[in-house]
Structure 1
Amino acid sequence: MGSADVRLDRADIRNVGGKAIGLLRLDAAGIAVPPWRALEAAHGQAHLERVRSRNTSAPEGLSPRERALSEPLDASTEARIATILDELDCEFVAVRSSGLAEDGSDESLAGRFETVLGVRADDPGAIADSVRRCWASALPDAVPDEAEEPTAAETPMAVVIQKMVDPHAAGVAFTLDERVLVSAAYGLGEGLVSGAVDADSAVLDTAGGVLAERIGAKESAFRRVGGDVHELEVVPAERAESALSREQYRTLGKALAKITDALGPRQDVEFAFDDAGLHILQCRPVTATTPVPDLPVPVGIDDLVSAEKVAAGEARLWDNSNILESFNGPTSPLTFSTASNVYRHVYDGYARSLRVPRAQLKQVAEWTPHLLGQFYGRVYYDLLHWYRMVGIAPGYALNRRVLEVALGVGEPLDSRVARTLKPFTFRSPVHRLVSRAITTATYVRRIATVESFVDDFLREFDAIYARFDALDYDTMDGTEVLARFEELESELLRRWGPVMVLDAALLTLSGLLFALTKVLLPNAPEWFGFAAIAPGEDIESAEPAHALADMAALIDDEAVAERIRRGDPAEVYQWIREHGPVKLRSAADEYIDNYGYRSLDELKLEIPDLREDPSMLVVLLRAAMAGGAPNRGEDAEAYLDANLHGVRRRVYEALRRKTSAGAAARERLRFARTRAFGMVKRMVRAMGRDLAARGVLGEFDDVFFLTLDELRAQLRGGTASDGGDAARASVARRREALHLSRSVAGPARFWTSGPVSGRGELAELGFVARSGLPAAEVGDELSGVASSSGVAEGTVVVVDSPADIREGILVGYRTDPGWATALPAAKALLIERGSPLTHVAIIARELGIPTVVQIENLTSLLRDGMTVRVDATAGTVTVLSGAEESETTSDEEARR
């Protein structure tokens, strides 16, 4: 492909012009260019000289351009054109100008001269006319006052005659450093260049990946109609698909990369796609500043789904159960990847602590990185792996049943499937027997000493925490903060794995206690089983809630109370700091000093803690002020006094105390986890500020849209020139994905088979828009699992985060540990997901708040303003009035 008579190493721009030189360079670089030939500039020179020589005889009032168009071609030019057409041997050709100054590195003169598309190759008159139009386009279109020398633009030009392709789509691309700008339309690109059609615009990375895209309003195109391809065919139609597919963008990206390697950066490239694939039509240097358009950011499946890569047909079970307590709703990539990393290392360490052999540890390491998955920003358990995790310890049959209760899993796994989920395999039965005997002995010994083991861990944790808490991360650069983070990560994760035996032990102990309850107290109500193992009122994780209650008790001035209830939180906090009662000011300072690492969604790195946003203390204080005296309902101790005595009571109490101590120890570990995540929040913010200062990120909070591995890589080598564009593009896509995810409701549980391929499949799995979900009607009764007994009646307050909490019946899809400080506002607590053993359910029992969990479709059925009656002893919720009726009643009461 290319000129047979003019080779690149001998080409003279004065003979073939800038456009032909560009095509020669494309040919030499191996780029697919439609066949072409150059009609040398000497033919144009002779034509224009004849025009000038006839100036005196030409009709008055004609411009040089009009004279050039009327002058016939000479025999030499006609013969040369005939030879070119014979060599091209095609039906249609494009006739393009190729001037001396055209497509140069200093000035491209793009669009200044003529191009004629779709000229029939067997029509000599049309070909001759097209060639004359190219030559004439270099001449003035005004009648000169006197004889003038030709300008640079008027110098004779060559003409490129090129085989015409009949494309499905065509367009223009600009290669700009780390990005590529593309405009494309259906059919020929001429309509796009002229502005006659609505174009699709896209920003690509250098590999052809779409970073941003806007689809044109109409499907408009130049297409061949009959024999005339100049006719503009406009098809008005709203469309959802781009003129170019993702695969075509990638193909274009590869070709553009090849072009920039050969010709240099910043190229203006015209292209077309037909049945044969991609064709590069012409190429010139970009000579002007090209702004990046402000386009909506496309969201691909990789931005919506982060999960284990499995083969086609390989099944996975996803369940959000009580993972919602830690990661509510759409969660940032940094939080998700950090959590996945923690789970991986902790459970690898857990297996090592039970003395699992090295060969089996390698097998464990194959699935521990995939304990979690993320769909539309929501975090799910990769549940089959959790059953494998339970199988590391002895007692799998019992433990997996208790796991389902502890996680709040609504549907038990089929026993036949459960038995196939081995954490590892052995090369022989003898090896298996020996290894399991060692693991069982280690496990039993750990259960016997679990309280002292946890005490030892927490002492070490406190010392590590104090050491890292004393550092000022804002004075360090990002790489130094990363080093401190990885040091903290190493010290905590290698210690945390062994103490996870506590969770396994608690499963075993809880399972034994539930079994013993069925034997000794067969008629015990559902709430009793969970109340019996409550860890007690003085657990460390309840301290923030008690401290808030104490702070609320200091407010004895109604004017102060009203300011706190009604004012803007930031303004109220500032008022407390500057003008508030001394006791209240002192209590607020003490609270932030003691619990400043806490936040509303405590394990989400993107949520600021109280030190970063102390105004949230006002929100928590409002909740504490709204709380009343606890109504504990029926008491487990009283039930035991009435129904169990003698030796059976003593046996029961021995197991109960051991289980309750395990539950208390787990709460202490969770409190330590909250403190550790608070420390990580400080470090992440310092690292984000460093990356923003380097220009890698636009703003410091962009850091939450990187993964943990990406954050490490950027800090070790990222700069604005080598990593900034790619990082910012990822951030933009993931921000858009998070925004989209907030309008979607997700299923609690679903199976996948192989990789998820697109949004349509996600919809089939149950990810649907929140709008249009039906509400419960008056008289409807919802049922769930009783977690804390008691009866309450009040107005529904649907809560997405603790910041939304107001006095009433609190209704949430899930809770997180940050809710504990706001629970005093609740007359009752209703949770769609989670289990009676979650952190907030335990705290609610200690505060005497009637609680029901695992209420199917709760947050779609109940709406803000409804009135309901909660019987937490029976595990039921009855709708007394709808939201509109409740609002009307409230308005009438206010008027009275």
Structure 2
Amino acid sequence: MEVSGAGGGGKAAGLDALVAAGARVPEWTVLGTEVFAEFLSAAGLSERFTAFVNAQDLGSALTAAADLRAAVTAVALPDGVRAAIDGAYARVGGTVAVRSSGVGEDGGADSFAGQFDSFLHVTGAEAVAERVRRCWASGFAERAVRYAFARDRPPITELAVVLQRFVAARASGVLFTVDPVSGDADRLVVSAVYGLGEGLVSGAVDADTAVIDPAGAVLELTIGAKEQEYLPGPGDGLVATDVDAERRAAPVLAAAELAELAGRGRELATALGGPQDIEWAIDADGLWFLQARPITTLGAIAGGSDQALDQGAGEHVPAGELRIWDNSNIIESFNGITSPLTFTVAAGIYGRVYRGYAKSLDVPEAQLRQLDSWTPYLLGRFNGRVYYNLLHWYRMVGIAPGYPLNRKVLEAALGVAEPLPDDIARTLRPFTFGSPLLRARSRLRTAVTYRRRLRDIDSMMAAFSAEFYRVYDRYEAVEYSDGAEAYAAYREVDRDLVERWGPMMVLDAVLLTLTGTMFLLTRLFLPRAPESLLLAVLGPGADVESAEPARAMTALAERAHADPAVAELVRGTDPALAYTALDEAGHRSFLREVDTYLDRYGYRSLDELKLEVPDLREDPSGLFVMLRSALGRIGADDTAVPGADTVDPDAYLDAHLRGLRRRIYDRVRTKTARCAAHRERLRFCRTRAFGMVKRMIRAMGRDLAARGVLDDFTDVFELTVDELCACYDSAPAPELRARIAARRIARTADAGLVAPARFETRGTDFTQAALAAQGWVPVADVPAAAPGDVLGGIPSAAGVVEGSAVVVDEPRDVAGGILVTYRTDPGWVAALPSASALVIERGSPLTHVAIVARELGVPTVVQVPGSTRRLRTGMRVRVDGTAGTVTVLADGGAESGA
């Protein structure tokens, strides 16, 4: 072994550090940068090298690099250079690994991981000399040049090569001394494969992954498929060999080996001065450390790259400053585990749209700049779940006039179970001013503009709809055959629609104001009115556009019910096969009606704002799931209890309110209903827009998979929007596959956690243990509710129904039962005709589905804590949508395992 010095490059420096820290490292030596410089000079390649170094743009750099790479590969090795290579090989001898070691490679800022070539299991002087030449040539490979330009760094031009004794490993892998995705220092991560590590670093082998805590205990262990292992071949190089089923299902490393790795890893991280990415191997002689480099992505996490995926969307929060996270009705849009792409697209849109909203209210430029410190962080993502950054939403409400009233309505609209204390709410200003006079002048201008928007909201909605459908009609029917074309369309649509959407957010503020006014008028004019009256009078009207899919689904179910053969086939066929089965059975008339539904509403889906969920056109099985449920409702007995309080708002008002007060009430009510209908239309436009973007994203995913950037097109959803854009604007990040793999592993672990409805953080320095103390714990069995138990919630749609509970995570096989679910999204609307009542654990009476449920007369209770865990499919329950209760009845049992 020899110490390299600066001329040995990044890998050699890492090996120096490992040896100095007392790590067990296989014998090695280095051909320093001076050997490569001598090669360029003696081979007559200096001018070509200078042309590459002086290239100012990516195109000219790629051209110069290709010319130089071809020459490096073709020219004969000068005698002095060959002697240096032979001498280095003699110092190690036997079978070696030949690894690139550029100056700047494996550094603290840029890893250049995978950009240069390395070769394992190389024997003999001729083979070693050829592999050294190929390592040099790889310094000018297109991927390495693009990586440097994408990172805004100069390409590496000082090239060294490490020769290291080859370890014939029975197991190998990578050790991260902190979690490389979240940056959590309490989680050390080990990836392990059988045989050599080539399969792991290339992504060809699905590795075991273990997460280990500071005490050495294994917190999580994911067993990879490990279908193959890479072993030394009969000559130079490696061969992939199948792993038998028994070894594939077993962990690569024993608990004692994991503990040893974890302990040594933490020691090395301390000795090397920070978190490390360490390559290791185990052979018959024990554990070896092959290389080490700083974990470069941690800087990006701290600066908001991967931090945009977890723990506050990358917002810098001063130490000790409070943040409150509430999932409220955000889960109507983003239920459960939400992909990185969906979250980062949504968070970016929210931030830009609400800045545009403030600008449309004539907020001064200085105050708009202040918004940039918090509007990008209206959402956060924790363990894969999306939350409102609640304090910022209160700030957002303060942009428009009427904050004291509007914030109370906001709490109802979001379904916030615990209102914010007044002493906190009063401090949440959206921006500050230099003097009271400036503040008064600005707020007066905003109030005048807001009043004008309130007056003109109908014409604003008409103009927006016309422009939206102009853009939508232009892009909706395009079949993208090229990823770059889809990307260009996505960027244009994103800019156009976000710019137009911002001013329309005044509609939410106007609806808050009007709803609050209706609440005050009801309390003032009708102090004895039942609580359900306000919900009844706030409806957008029976003709609201968002109810159309439900009505169309009911009509389709009635058409199927009229033909027993069709109905039987729909009920008895796997939804994924139903379309083909109907076609083969000759039911083409009915299929034409199905196609009509798909033409009109095919952009929809369950979880329709999640980009990873295919729409009905791509996967029509969702339509047949809902159709089967709607069929079950046709002809079912009416289970409503006689005498249920289903307030007729007009009859109640006729009986209790007359004269001037009635005229005032009706005027505000009409305006409120019209704005509620506008809001539903706007949300319908949002659904259409996301459906359009889904098709563009899928085209990009398939393009990137075809180009070899991704292993599968669905990997695109594991990228952030910035990472996706980089694939087209510059070059894919070299560690993209590793990030995707880490995120998929994290997704599996996240799915096993309970997601609390609300929790708090302070600053950014909090741990998983702190989150666990607030409810982020593994899913535990919750005892079922007993007969007589009453689960309380918020009344949302009046009526009383008794029936069998059907606990579902998607609208399937409800068949007239009482649908119990954690949350709904607008895609559930088509399934409402199949349910006799709704019980929703999270949400609010003002959410999309709750509004449509009232229009369709489906009794509904929302915000029923623990309902999906305490109720079981088959339980007999009574839902009182007027009182907001769910009572477990004595008759009727639960299905086992439900």
Structure 2 unaligned blocks of 5 or more:
23-85, 99-163, 178-193, 218-253, 293-305
Residue of structure 1 in register with 2:476 after alignment: 469
CA shift, 1:814, in A, is 1.3
SS in 1 for 2:691: helix
Match of residue 552, structure 1, among 549, 557, 560: 557
Equivalent-residue separation in structure 2 for 1:732 and 1:109 (angstroms): 26
Residue of structure 1 in register with 2:96 after alignment: 108
Residue of structure 2 in register with 1:358 after alignment: 365
Q: Output one character per residue of 1:281-311: Cα deviation in whole Å (capped at 9) or x when no partner.
A: 9999xxxxxxxxxxxxxxx999654533323
Residue of structure 1 in register with 2:533 after alignment: 528
Equivalent positions of 1:654-665 (< 5 A) are: 654-665=667-678
CA shift, 1:30, in A, is 6.2
Equivalent-residue separation in structure 2 for 1:728 and 1:282 (angstroms): 21
Equivalent positions of 1:212-361 (< 5 A) are: 213-214=209-210, 242-245=262-265, 248=268, 305-307=311-313, 308-361=315-368
Equivalent-residue separation in structure 1 for 2:514 and 2:593 (angstroms): 40
SS in 1 for 2:432: coil
Equivalent-residue separation in structure 1 for 2:605 and 2:396 (angstroms): 30
CA shift, 1:215, in A, is 7.9
Equivalent position amino acid for 1:349 in 2: G
Equivalent-residue separation in structure 1 for 2:2 and 2:418 (angstroms): 68
Structure 1 unaligned blocks of 5 or more:
9-21, 37-97, 111-171, 186-197, 221-233, 260-265, 274-278, 285-299, 891-896
Q: Is the contact between residue 364 and residue 442 of structure 2 (CA under 8 Å) also seen in structure 1?
A: yes
Residue of structure 2 in register with 1:226 after alignment: none
Equivalent positions of 1:376-525 (< 5 A) are: 376-473=383-480, 475-476=481-482, 478-525=483-530
SS in 1 for 2:764: coil
SS in 2 for 1:768: coil
Change (3 A) 1:867 1:251: farther
Equivalent-residue separation in structure 2 for 1:571 and 1:255 (angstroms): 51
Residue of structure 2 in register with 1:871 after alignment: 880
SS in 1 for 2:806: strand
Equivalent-residue separation in structure 2 for 1:256 and 1:379 (angstroms): 30
Equivalent-residue separation in structure 2 for 1:432 and 1:184 (angstroms): 51
Change (3 A) 1:203 1:842: same
Equivalent position amino acid for 1:564 in 2: V
Equivalent-residue separation in structure 1 for 2:88 and 2:620 (angstroms): 68
How many equivalent residue pairs?
Answer: 687
Equivalent-residue separation in structure 2 for 1:504 and 1:219 (angstroms): 52
Q: Is the contact between residue 812 and residue 859 of structure 1 (CA under 8 Å) also seen in structure 2?
A: yes
Report whether the alignment pairs 1:562 with 2:568: yes
Equivalent-residue separation in structure 2 for 1:184 and 1:518 (angstroms): 61
Equivalent position amino acid for 2:320 in 1: G
Equivalent position amino acid for 2:444 in 1: A
Equivalent position amino acid for 1:619 in 2: V
Residue of structure 1 in register with 2:730 after alignment: 717
CA shift, 1:267, in A, is 11
Q: Output one character per residue of 1:674-695: Cα deviation in whole Å (capped at 9) or x when no partner.
A: 0000001000001111111121
SS in 1 for 2:889: strand
Equivalent-residue separation in structure 2 for 1:35 and 1:594 (angstroms): 66
Q: Is the contact between residue 97 and residue 165 of structure 2 (CA under 8 Å) also seen in structure 1?
A: no
Match of residue 546, structure 2, among 510, 522, 541: 541
Change (3 A) 1:443 1:102: same
CA shift, 1:813, in A, is 1.5
CA shift, 1:429, in A, is 0.9
Residue of structure 2 in register with 1:695 after alignment: 708
Change (3 A) 1:603 1:778: same
Equivalent-residue separation in structure 2 for 1:269 and 1:887 (angstroms): 50
Equivalent-residue separation in structure 2 for 1:464 and 1:391 (angstroms): 32
Q: Is the contact between residue 18 and residue 268 of structure 2 (CA under 8 Å) also seen in structure 1?
A: no
Q: Is the contact between residue 175 and residue 267 of structure 1 (CA under 8 Å) also seen in structure 2?
A: no
Change (3 A) 1:505 1:244: farther
Residue of structure 1 in register with 2:830 after alignment: 821
Change (3 A) 1:772 1:886: closer
Equivalent positions of 1:730-749 (< 5 A) are: 730-749=739-758
Equivalent position amino acid for 2:377 in 1: H
Equivalent-residue separation in structure 1 for 2:750 and 2:396 (angstroms): 30
Match of residue 671, structure 1, among 666, 679, 684: 684
SS in 2 for 1:569: coil
Change (3 A) 1:106 1:752: same
* Length-normalised TM-score, structure 1: 0.70
SS in 1 for 2:805: strand
Match of residue 767, structure 2, among 755, 758, 763: 758
Equivalent-residue separation in structure 2 for 1:738 and 1:29 (angstroms): 34
Q: Output one character per residue of 1:373-404: Cα deviation in whole Å (capped at 9) or x when no partner.
A: 01121111000000000000011100101100
Equivalent position amino acid for 1:603 in 2: L
Equivalent-residue separation in structure 1 for 2:803 and 2:354 (angstroms): 43
Equivalent position amino acid for 2:721 in 1: L
* Length-normalised TM-score, structure 2: 0.70
Residue of structure 2 in register with 1:596 after alignment: 602
Equivalent positions of 1:639-658 (< 5 A) are: 639-658=652-671
Equivalent position amino acid for 2:513 in 1: T
Q: Output one character per residue of 1:636-683: Cα deviation in whole Å (capped at 9) or x when no partner.
A: 222222322232222211110010101000000000000000001000
Equivalent-residue separation in structure 2 for 1:858 and 1:601 (angstroms): 20
CA shift, 1:844, in A, is 0.4
SS in 2 for 1:554: helix
Q: Output one character per residue of 1:138-159: Cα deviation in whole Å (capped at 9) or x when no partner.
A: xxxxxxxxxxxxxxxxxxxxxx
Q: Output one character per residue of 1:313-371: Cα deviation in whole Å (capped at 9) or x when no partner.
A: 11101111111111111111111111101101100100000000000000011101000
Q: Output one character per residue of 1:858-896: Cα deviation in whole Å (capped at 9) or x when no partner.
A: 22221222110111112111101488x3449x9xxxxxx
Change (3 A) 1:249 1:680: farther
Q: Is the contact between residue 32 and residue 280 of structure 1 (CA under 8 Å) also seen in structure 2?
A: no
CA shift, 1:744, in A, is 1.6
Equivalent-residue separation in structure 2 for 1:391 and 1:184 (angstroms): 44
Change (3 A) 1:427 1:564: same
Equivalent position amino acid for 2:518 in 1: L
CA shift, 1:452, in A, is 1.5
Equivalent-residue separation in structure 1 for 2:468 and 2:354 (angstroms): 18
Equivalent-residue separation in structure 2 for 1:250 and 1:707 (angstroms): 31
Larger Rg: 1 or 2?
A: 1
CA shift, 1:615, in A, is 2.1
Residue of structure 2 in register with 1:617 after alignment: 623
Equivalent-residue separation in structure 1 for 2:828 and 2:386 (angstroms): 19
CA shift, 1:697, in A, is 0.9
Equivalent positions of 1:828-843 (< 5 A) are: 828-843=837-852
CA shift, 1:803, in A, is 4.7
653-662 or 247-256: bigger deviation: 247-256
Change (3 A) 1:26 1:614: closer
Q: Is the contact between residue 629 and residue 813 of structure 2 (CA under 8 Å) also seen in structure 1?
A: no
Change (3 A) 1:665 1:280: same
Q: Output one character per residue of 1:804-823: Cα deviation in whole Å (capped at 9) or x when no partner.
A: 75541111121100000111
Equivalent-residue separation in structure 2 for 1:202 and 1:301 (angstroms): 29
Equivalent position amino acid for 2:441 in 1: V
Change (3 A) 1:543 1:246: farther
Equivalent-residue separation in structure 2 for 1:451 and 1:360 (angstroms): 28
Q: Is the contact between residue 796 and residue 866 of structure 1 (CA under 8 Å) also seen in structure 2?
A: yes
Match of residue 587, structure 2, among 564, 570, 581: 581
Q: Output one character per residue of 1:263-289: Cα deviation in whole Å (capped at 9) or x when no partner.
A: xxx99999x99xxxxx999999xxxxx
Output the aligned Cα RMSD: 4.3
